[in-house]
Amino acid sequence: MASAKASVATRRRARVNLLPFFLLLPVMVVFLAVFAPAVIHIFLQSLWKFDSFRLAIVRDLTAANYVKFFTDAYYLNVLWLTIRISLIVTGISLVIGYCLAYFIFYRGGRFRTYYVLILLSPLLVTVVVRAFGWLLFLGDNGLLAQFLKFVLRTDSPPRVIFNEQGVILGLFHVYLPFMVLAILGSLQRIDISLPMAARNLGASAYQAFTRVTLPLSLPGVFTGSVLVFVLTMGSFAVPFLLGGGKVPMIAMQVYEKELVFINWPFAGAMGFILLAIVGTVIIFSGRALERGKYGVVFQ
């Protein structure tokens, strides 16, 4: 009797679990049929040699591309630069994005939907157009430069574009909405009586936030941070347009190697290194959070 009940229960659970699988099936078929062979091909290619005199791929199995990346100071610098910019952009978006999400959710009142719409409106414009917008605003003859020239009475005001700050600013602007949306989503799932209960038990408004609201919103913080980090790590257009050629992030290098130098094996190797780093960061940060003090909120 008991075992019959148990088997009914497991059968029911199995049925529930299969539904998402079936819904994902079309996507998975496309992925496996189109995307996977391409990825495998690129991976194999990254293990081949490139003859830079004849500009041709030689099909000899070798780890040389990977070795070169990790021994050449230039590429190590590219990697470090990319990681550094991604961390900074993620950090800034996290702090500002959290404040924005918190404000929209708890202070937005009946204007909440409008704030979210305003937040999302930049997503209607492509990244390239937005980068050009920044160029117009921050460029050498842009509004800001004119203003600084006037205020500081100098012909060469400090530049905030065509350098790392410019790229960080541009990336922050492009990816902030993702962070806010993720955090907003997790704030919405917090029962409003929980911070109230904290206050009732003697917590100040600040303590209620740090002890209750913040830990419970960690899933949103994690999702938002992963999204922004991954998108920044692979970003191409913004560093290309706003970096003035001085901010060689890794995706730009892949582009250059692939299309300018036609060195597909090395480009492929860089692509895989990027993929591996991003994957490792996601998996390990996820694990760390699940094992951490508030791991239970991730289950």
Nearer to other proteins, 258 or 290 (CB): 290
Nearer to other proteins, 53 or 206 (CB): 206
User: Contact 138/55 with Cβ under 8 angstroms?
Assistant: no
What is the DSSP secondary structure assignment for residue 58, as one 8-state letter? E
Nearer to other proteins, 89 or 208 (CB): 208
Residues near other proteins (CB under 8 A) are: 191, 193-194, 196-204, 207, 211-212, 215-216, 294, 296-297
262/156 Cα distance (integer angstroms): 39
In the complex, the smallest distance separating the C-beta of residue 108 from other proteins, rounded to whole angstroms, is 16
In the complex, the smallest distance separating the C-beta of residue 4 from other proteins, rounded to whole angstroms, is 24
Tokens standing for 100?
A: 């924005």
251/248 Cα distance (integer angstroms): 8
In the complex, the smallest distance separating the C-beta of residue 188 from other proteins, rounded to whole angstroms, is 15
Q: What are phi and psi of 49, to 5 degrees?
A: -95, 155
Nearer to other proteins, 101 or 216 (CB): 216
In the complex, the smallest distance separating the C-beta of residue 194 from other proteins, rounded to whole angstroms, is 6
236/84 Cα distance (integer angstroms): 15
Amino acid, res. 285: S
In the complex, the smallest distance separating the C-beta of residue 16 from other proteins, rounded to whole angstroms, is 18
- Strand 49-51 and strand 56-58: the pairing is antiparallel
In the complex, the smallest distance separating the C-beta of residue 88 from other proteins, rounded to whole angstroms, is 29
Query: What is the crossing angle of helices 127-138 and 143-152, to 10°?
Result: 20
Nearer to other proteins, 47 or 216 (CB): 216
Nearer to other proteins, 99 or 196 (CB): 196
User: Contact 239/166 with Cβ under 8 angstroms?
Assistant: no
With H, G, I as helix, E, B as strand and everything else as coil, classify residue 51.
strand
In the complex, the smallest distance separating the C-beta of residue 196 from other proteins, rounded to whole angstroms, is 6
Cα–Cα distances in angstroms (integers) from residue 106 to residues 116, 184, 197, 213, in the given order: 13, 10, 16, 11
With H, G, I as helix, E, B as strand and everything else as coil, classify residue 126.
coil
Nearer to other proteins, 121 or 200 (CB): 200
